[in-house]
Amino acid sequence: MGIINADLIVCGGGTAGLPAALAAARAGASVAVIEEDASLGGATADQYIQMFCGRPYQGILLELKEKTRSFAPTVRDNTFRSSAALLAYQEFFRGLPVTFHTRQRIVKVELNCSSIVAVESDTERFEGKAFIDATGDGSVAALAGIPFRFGREAASEFDEEFAPPAADRKIQRCTLMYTVKRLPDAPDADTRGIVLLDEDEGLIWGPSVVCGDTTDPSLLAKAQEEAFAMMPAEVERWRARGFFVSSVAPKIGVRESRRIAGLYTLSYHDIADQRVHPDSVCVVNYNIDPWDPDGNPMHDNRLKSTHMPDYEIPYRCMVNDKVDNLIVTGRCVSATHVAQSSLRVIGVVIPLGQAAGNAAYLAVRDGKAARDINAQELRDMQRKGGVRVSLAE
């Protein structure tokens, strides 16, 4: 088994993992990024998520938006091409002390007391001082024994009026994304309902299916099969409108799985009431957008049209009281099902990734547990990196 050593090990080279690695490396840490797939990029690459939801464009998110546009200039304002994002990151990482290890699925976490010593794939061992779980599913945190939430909280637990009366294990539906393009003999075909990437081609939120447990590979494979089985009808539907299906995402899109139990759980009222947190790492904005597990458009249609105000996300959502040197980022940070339906989008996940990278740098530099770093210094690093950290600013 080969041994790779770095200050920081980033587990998952996806939407949050790449900005985390970039922020830490820019600050001066050596970084190893581990990715189970053949390609980096995560959901933006293999689930075809190519639209920036969440505002404002800030920090690494803004850099990415501008750089992707320079690679694919015909793209519409809030969209990007997956390949352009990969090319952008390749430029961002040039000259920085970062190594990438694709086709390495983390299957084991080795702990010494309350610290992670190493994570392992079947063939490699990765040793570091700090670790970031950017797997989307909180897989490393789960392997390290950190408790997590799964499914919907009861409305009473966090006073969330849109949550169900009793807690359950239901999660948001999975969706197979695809693209459609105008047929050559239908230059005027109507593009309504398509998120256009450029003049002729756009994104479609395709078949949406229920998956009882998105951390179970066989259930997820079944969900994907079920969604793919609906594609012939989609092909016909679009042909009748003057389009052809130009590509289908290789993986079904997963909105939700584990959410780690952190020191703080972000809930609906943190967002709606604009709660202020002294350790806030970013100010963001996006609707509450839960894709109902039972197939209804929303838990409550009021949510769909309710625009949320700007809100703060505290660093405590990314750290826990069990493992000293692990920071969690991406869609699996500590939040309720309702709050996660807002923070899961790219425009939130990227500033959260940036925060994880900066925090890990501070933890390594100061030899501190991730939960004990100086939150004010972290906020300063975020600010310097172009991220708004306080509603008061």
Ligand X SMILES: Cc1cc2nc3c(=O)[nH]c(=O)nc-3n(C[C@H](O)[C@H](O)[C@H](O)COP(=O)(O)OP(=O)(O)OC[C@H]3O[C@@H](n4cnc5c(N)ncnc54)[C@H](O)[C@@H]3O)c2cc1C
Does 385 interact with ligand X (rule: CB under 6 A)? no
Distance CA 34, CA 11 (A): 5
Nearest approach in angstroms of CB 107 to ligand X is 7
Supply 294's token pair.
Answer: 């039972």
Pseudo-torsion of CA 220, 164, 302, 57, nearest 10°?
-50
DSSP secondary structure letter of residue 371: G
Find residue 202's DSSP bridge partners: 180, 196
Q: Does residue 98 contact residue 29 with C-beta atoms inside 8 Å?
A: no
Does 175 interact with ligand X (rule: CB under 6 A)? yes
DSSP secondary structure letter of residue 8: E
Q: Does residue 148 contact residue 176 with C-beta atoms inside 8 Å?
A: no
Nearest approach in angstroms of CB 241 to ligand X is 21
Distance CA 385, CA 129 (A): 23
Cα–Cα–Cα angle for 76, 77, 83, nearest 5°? 65
Q: How many residues does the chain have?
A: 393
Does 343 interact with ligand X (rule: CB under 6 A)? no
Does 314 interact with ligand X (rule: CB under 6 A)? no
Residue number, 135 or 179, with CB nearest to ligand X: 135
Rg of the chain over all Cα atoms, to the nearest angstrom: 20
Of these, 346, 373, 375, 389, which contacts ligand X (CB under 6 A)?
A: 346
Backbone φ and ψ of 41, nearest 5°: 115, -25
Does 248 interact with ligand X (rule: CB under 6 A)? no
Residue number, 7 or 256, with CB nearest to ligand X: 256
Residue number, 155 or 224, with CB nearest to ligand X: 224
Rounded to the nearest angstrom, the gap between the alpha carbon of residue 351 and the centroid of all alpha carbons in its chain is 10
Of these, 266, 345, 370, 373, which contacts ligand X (CB under 6 A)?
A: 345
Does 253 interact with ligand X (rule: CB under 6 A)? yes
Site track 179-218 with ligand X (rule: CB under 6 A), x = hit: ----------------------------------------
Distance CA 221, CA 225 (A): 6
Distance CA 350, CA 353 (A): 5
Nearest approach in angstroms of CB 376 to ligand X is 26
Contact stretch for ligand X (CB under 6 A) within 47-55, 90-98, 224-232, 370-378: 47-55
**Where in 112-171 is the site for ligand X (CB under 6 A)?**
134-137, 139
Does 344 interact with ligand X (rule: CB under 6 A)? yes
Count of positions on this chain that bind ligand X (CB under 6 A): 39
Side-chain-side CA neighbours of 291 within 13 Å: the count stands at: 16
Of these, 314, 330, 351, 385, which contacts ligand X (CB under 6 A)?
A: 330
Nearest approach in angstroms of CB 123 to ligand X is 13
- Chain residue whose CB lies nearest ligand X: 14
Contact stretch for ligand X (CB under 6 A) within 10-18, 125-133, 308-316, 368-376: 10-18
Does 331 interact with ligand X (rule: CB under 6 A)? yes
Does 254 interact with ligand X (rule: CB under 6 A)? yes
SS3 at position 59 = helix
Question: E strands, the chain, where?
Answer: 2-11, 31-34, 98-101, 108-112, 115-120, 124-133, 148-149, 174-182, 195-196, 201-209, 243-248, 259-260, 280-284, 311-314, 326-328
**Where in 103-122 is the site for ligand X (CB under 6 A)?**
105-106
Does 347 interact with ligand X (rule: CB under 6 A)? yes
What stretch of H or E contains 117? strand 115-120
Which residues form the interface with ligand X (CB under 6 A)?
11-17, 34-37, 42-44, 47, 49, 51-54, 105-106, 134-137, 139, 175, 177, 253-255, 330-331, 344-347, 349
